[in-house]
Amino acid sequence: MNRFDANSTTDQVIDGISLQGQLAVVTGASSGLGVETCRVLAAAGATVLMVARDEEKLESVAQELRRQQPDAQLHTQIMDLADLNSVRIAATEILLHHGQIQLLINNAGVMACPLQYTAQGFEMQFGTNHLGHFLFTGLLSDALIDGAPGRVVNLSSAGHRFARFNFDDPSYQNRPYDKWQAYGESKTANILFTVGLDLRTRERGVRAFAVHPGVIMTNLSRHMEEADLIALNERNPSGEPLVFKSLEQGAATTVWAASSPHLAGRGGIYLENCQIAPAAVQGKGIGVESYAVNPAAAERLWSLSEELVGQSFEF
C-alpha cells in the first residue's frame, strides 16, 4: 500500500531505493524543484545530467551539490527549451556521451509570463513547456529504449484545469492572450504528451508519467505579482485558499514517479500528492480532467507537435 501523501518529502519517498547504475536527465536543473530533484536522485546513487539554459547558474548549482555530496555523480548540459535548435544541439551532445538513459525528468517550465514567442515563433509557454520537451524526449528516445526499463516524468500542474488544449490557435495568433489560459493549455499538453508517449514506449520498457508538484514559490513564479496570486486563488476549483508546499514536498511526487516500485507496470497517468490522481470532480481541488487524458486528443497533439517541430519519431 502506498503510504505517501501531500506532506511527504523527497527523502521519505526515496528511502530504501537505490538508483545505482541509472542515468537521470533533469531539465530545469538550475533552480527550485529541479535542484532538489537532482540532489535526491544523486543521493540515491543515480548519475545525474543537469540540464538548464544559464551556464553560470547551472555550474554554480552543480558545484554546491558536489560540495554537499562529494560522491555525487553530476554532469551538466546547456539547453534552451525556447529554441529548438538549442534542443537539437543539446540532445546530440548528450547522445555522444550517453547511449543509455533510464530516467528523463522534464521539469523545466515557464508560468504566466507576458505574451512572448520562442525562437521559432511559438507562444512561450506552449513552446517551452511542451514543444521543447516533446522534441528533446523524441531525440533521446533511442537512448531511453536502449536503457530500459526506464521512466519519463513530465511536470504538469493542477493548472491544466484552467483550459483544454486549443488545437486551432496554440500560439495565440488569432485570439486575445490570457497568460493563465495559455499556462493551462500548456499543462494540459504535458499530460496529453504523457498519454501519447506511454502508448508508444510501454512495450519497449519505458513508461511515462505526468506530475502535479503542488504550489511552491520558486523561480517558476518570477512573473507573478500579488494580483496574480489573487487570480490564482480565484481559479482554484475547490474555492479554498492555496496551500503552499516546501521544495522537499513539491519535488516528492516527481521523485516518487521516477523511482517508486508502486508504479511498476503503470504509465500514461497523472500523479499528485505522491498518489495516482483520481478523475477530477467539479468543485474539488484534486484530480485530472478527462480532456487531459483523452487518447484521441493525445494522438492529435502528437501529430501537431511533429508537424511544428518538423520531425517525426518512430518507436
CATH of the domain at 28: 3.40.50.720
pTM for this one? 0.93
Averaged pLDDT, 126-149: 98
Averaged pLDDT, 143-169: 98
Domain count, the chain: 1
Give tens-digit pLDDT for 178-205. Answer: 999 999 999 999 999 999 999 999 999 9
Residue 120 sits in which domain range? 10-308
Indicate whether 315 belongs to any domain: no
Classify residue 127 as exposed, middle or buried by CB count within 10 Å of its CB (0-12, 13-18, 19+): buried
Q: Is the pLDDT of residue 310 over 80?
A: yes
Structure confidence at residue 244 (pLDDT): 87
Q: Is the pLDDT of residue 229 over 70?
A: no
Q: Which of 117, 177, 183, 291 is catalytic?
A: 183
pLDDT band at residue 243 using 50, 70 and 90 as cut-offs:
confident
Indicate whether 300 belongs to any domain: yes
pLDDT band at residue 247 using 50, 70 and 90 as cut-offs:
very high
Averaged pLDDT, 297-301: 98
Structure confidence at residue 314 (pLDDT): 87
Instruction: Tell me whether residue 172 is one of the annotated catalytic residues.
Output: no
Q: Is the pLDDT of residue 223 over 70?
A: no
Q: Is the pLDDT of residue 113 over 90?
A: yes
Q: Is the pLDDT of residue 287 over 70?
A: yes
Give tens-digit pLDDT for 160-180. Answer: 999 999 999 999 999 999 999
Indicate whether 153 belongs to any domain: yes
Q: How far apart are CA 175 and CA 268, in angstroms?
A: 31
Structure confidence at residue 96 (pLDDT): 98
Higher pLDDT, 197 or 244: 197
Averaged pLDDT, 116-143: 98
Instruction: Work out the mean pLDDT of the chain and round it to a whole number.
Output: 94
Q: Is the pLDDT of residue 94 over 70?
A: yes
Find out whether 108 and 77 touch, Cβ atoms under 8 Å.
Answer: no
Q: How far apart are CA 162 and CA 152, in angstroms?
A: 24
∠ at Cα 99 (93, 102), nearest 5°?
105
Give tens-digit pLDDT for 32-47. Answer: 999 999 999 999 999 9
Collect all residues with Cβ–Cβ distance below 8 Å to 134 and sequence separation of at least 6: 193, 305, 309
Q: Is the pLDDT of residue 31 over 70?
A: yes
Indicate whether 313 belongs to any domain: no
Structure confidence at residue 228 (pLDDT): 64
Omega before 170 within 30 of 0, i.e. cis: no
Indicate whether 4 belongs to any domain: no
Indicate whether 1 belongs to any domain: no
Indicate whether 210 belongs to any domain: yes
- 274-296 burial: b if 16+ Cβ within 10 Å, else e: bbebeebeeeebbbbbebbbbee
Q: Is the pLDDT of residue 242 over 60?
A: yes
